[in-house]
Structure 1
């Protein structure tokens, strides 16, 4: 009779829809995959292309047992640790570095992070 909503945190990047993914889907006979570009230049697509997750952390709070996801590399822990992992990613480790890189890239005329990653000087920062 108990329901829980375990806290989760995943480290995974989801870039804008890729033309190559769209083309692969069309070759498989899946049509209508063209992204819609909004007036604010955001992309909406019927598919998602992502990098593989680096890690998924889930609060181990399941009242009636839980799936054995740790066999596939998922980390189960307490809520406090999930929150610490989230803070590490968002506030100290990854996101601030990505944001800094994006700012330098804009100043240098880049429009894609993927192109910035090819610039040795930016990567050295």
Structure 2
């Protein structure tokens, strides 16, 4: 009967250690992601944190969360609220067909385009594909 309880507690201990290991891996990955998302931290700082994380991982995670933990939330928030820059390709309002046809007529009158090209532009302005 003693071996049954010993096996039971061995399994419980295995689950606890496994859970702690998964939580620890999650913490290390979260810290690594935060290190490389931080735009205020220069390359040497990122390299130093990464080296410490490789060689002294448990202590580094604790120190990082204590020292820079408040900023971790701030670095996560802009991710979902991304706004493209003002000059990013914004859809242009469609010109009215009449104004496009008028512009094409001025071009054909000036001799810049041929009457065939004018007809093609007029057809396109009116929504015809060809």
After TM superposition, the score normalised by the length of structure 1 is 0.28
State which structure, 1 or 2, has the greater radius of gyration over its C-alpha atoms.
2
TM-score normalized by the length of structure 2: 0.27
- Higher normalized contact order (CA 8 Å, seq sep 6+, divided by chain length): 1
